[in-house]
Amino acid sequence: MRGVFTMKIAKPVHHESGSVMLTVLFFAIAVSIVGFAASTLVVSGNRNVHTISTLKQAHYLAEMGIEDVLSNPFVLRDTLLYDTYTYTIQSSVELESGKRGTYQTTMSKKPDNTIKIESKGFVRNQNDALLATKTIRCEFQIKSRSFYDILLKNAISTSQNLNSGKVYIYIDKDENDNPVASSADVYSDAEITNIAGTVPGSVIAQGRVIVNNNTTIAKDVIAKGNIVLNNNAQVGGKVISAESYIDVNNNAVVSGDIVAYGADDKGYSVYLTNSTVQDIYTKLGSSQVKEKNSRYKSIGTIPKLPEYPETYNVPRQSLPIIDDTIKAAWIAQAQSDGITFNGLNVNNDQTFTIDGNAYINGDLVLNDNSTLRVKEGSIVYVTGKILIENNASVSVVDSNGDQTIARSSLITADSFDIRNNAIPNVLSLVALGSSTSYLKNNSVTTGAILVPNGNLEISNNATIYGGIFAKSIPNIGNNAKIYFNPLNNLGLPHTVTSSQALDLLSWTE
């Protein structure tokens, strides 16, 4: 019985063992398949993660390029000069696993004076094969009250009172004899107590304005204080006083409206004597107008039009404040080529060449028919004073043979004195001291002049091809001439970073 029992038990045991083995086999195969699939997914996922990581790196590199051109103080200047400027990283960024990153960023000026930036980030392997690239495009608008904006329209700008003798302002012309600008304005953040000569633009002041002696102003006269037009003065546009009265007499001619928002202590807003004007507007109309022997079209209250708001705000402009950060950037640029002098004197028909950015620890003196040659686009920083006299000249050497010569800049920590037929050519002049700088006695300069902290005197047939920007201009006259050229003005070293001068309009990735 025991053996039979054993045999009966043995048969079912062998059948169940085979089933279990098959089950285990199928399970092992299934696990292998799932494991292979999972392994494939992990590898694919790792590849995708790796690809995404590389694209992110390219994206960050493109952003670095934009940050670099916005923080570099000279990129915007060169873009405005050349219409386009391309900045490429000088050394690659080392990434993980032997990869390296580079970027190339181009800033360009559009016809409407907006700025376009295109930045490309590149990630490459050890064999220089391209692994990923990313492009970011953005556009900016030059801020309406930034220094770059002022440079585009002002022949003269000052923070304090302007007392001008006879000065003639013209629009400069290009190589094809076409005007380089449509107008050239004169601006004072205080008063213009006298201006005479010709202005091919507007005269704007935060105080009063007095126009004398056959002066011709092509566009508007706008002031917060009272405005006086005397002795055959001619204004091609409007005359607007935001808070005071207007006095037009002695054969003055105004081709646009006269608008006075304020009145004198007698209650009059407009005095019109022996002159010719168009429409006259005051807050109360004809009761505020005193007229004698003059011609006009009509007198009425100030119309409710967009150009004549209830409260008229005179456009305000400010000269730049050269803070320690900007000054340090100028000095760093001047020292970047390692050219240094302990003072520099060039005399007696000598010619001396500075082949790059330079730092002069002391004074720079050029006289007696000497010539200083400076590489185009360079910054020369002088810790002392600059004296250029007696037929001495400065010329800029074209380094790349193109049509446009980048204006170089002479910067002094104190003051400059340009006199006696001196000719600093294609060169902007900057004086950072609080004393007086001079341009006089038939001297000619091609490039803007910036004196943000001191006085500037221009006299005796001095000529400027560019523009004048000074804290105080106590004397400009004696047949001084300004040929306004915004391109020459843009040769000035930056006074703000690009990010401070631009407003973001769009960003596309």
Contacts of 457 (CB under 8 A, 6+ apart): 436, 437, 438, 439, 440, 473, 474, 475, 476
Residue with tokens 């705000």: 313
Query: Structural domain tally of the chain?
Result: 3
Same domain for 368 and 458?
Answer: yes
- Residue closest to 199 by CA, chosen among 236, 163, 225, 152: 236
- Residue closest to 223 by CA, chosen among 193, 267, 178, 265: 193
Same domain for 362 and 402?
Answer: yes
Same domain for 330 and 297?
Answer: no
Distance (Å, whole) CA 158 – CA 150? 11
Same domain for 300 and 360?
Answer: no
Residue with tokens 């100030």: 302
Q: Is residue 243 situated within a structural domain?
A: yes
Give the pLDDT score at 91: 65
- Residue closest to 147 by CA, chosen among 509, 436, 489, 464: 489
Classified as helix, coil or strand, 327 is helix
Q: Is residue 123 situated within a structural domain?
A: yes
* The token pair that represents 411 in the structure block: 């910067």
Same domain for 473 and 328?
Answer: yes
Give the pLDDT score at 26: 55
Give the pLDDT score at 1: 37
Chosen domain end from 315, 331, 366: 315
Same domain for 484 and 382?
Answer: yes
Give the pLDDT score at 472: 92
Q: Is residue 192 situated within a structural domain?
A: no
Same domain for 231 and 341?
Answer: no
Same domain for 307 and 323?
Answer: no
Chosen domain end from 142, 174, 198: 142
Using CA atoms, how far residue 468 sits from 104, 131, 293, 446, in Å, is 36, 52, 39, 11
Same domain for 396 and 290?
Answer: no
Could you report how far apart the first and last alpha carbons of the chain are, in Å?
89
Give the pLDDT score at 437: 96
Q: Which amino acid is at 500?
A: Q
Distance (Å, whole) CA 344 – CA 360? 7
Q: Is residue 463 situated within a structural domain?
A: yes
Q: Is residue 32 situated within a structural domain?
A: yes
Q: Is residue 509 situated within a structural domain?
A: no
| Residue 286 backbone phi and psi in degrees, to 5 | -65, -25
Same domain for 120 and 214?
Answer: no
- Residue closest to 154 by CA, chosen among 401, 486, 436, 459: 486
Q: Is residue 329 situated within a structural domain?
A: yes
Same domain for 130 and 75?
Answer: yes
Give the pLDDT score at 166: 81
Q: Is residue 79 situated within a structural domain?
A: yes
Same domain for 326 and 245?
Answer: no
Question: pLDDT tens per residue, the chain (509 residues)?
Answer: 333 333 333 444 444 555 555 555 555 555 555 555 445 444 444 444 456 688 898 999 999 999 988 887 788 888 887 777 786 766 678 887 788 898 999 999 888 878 999 999 999 988 889 999 999 999 999 887 788 788 878 999 999 999 887 889 999 998 889 999 999 999 999 999 888 889 999 999 999 999 988 899 999 999 999 999 999 999 999 999 999 999 999 999 999 999 999 999 999 999 999 999 999 999 999 999 999 999 999 999 999 889 999 999 998 888 888 888 889 989 999 999 999 999 999 999 999 999 999 999 999 999 999 999 998 888 999 999 999 999 999 988 877 665 556 678 889 999 999 999 998 888 889 999 999 999 999 999 988 999 999 999 998 889 999 999 999 998 887 889 999 998 888 888 888 877 888 899 999 98
Chosen domain end from 142, 166, 185: 142
Give the pLDDT score at 491: 80
Domain that holds residue 215: 207-315
Give the pLDDT score at 405: 63
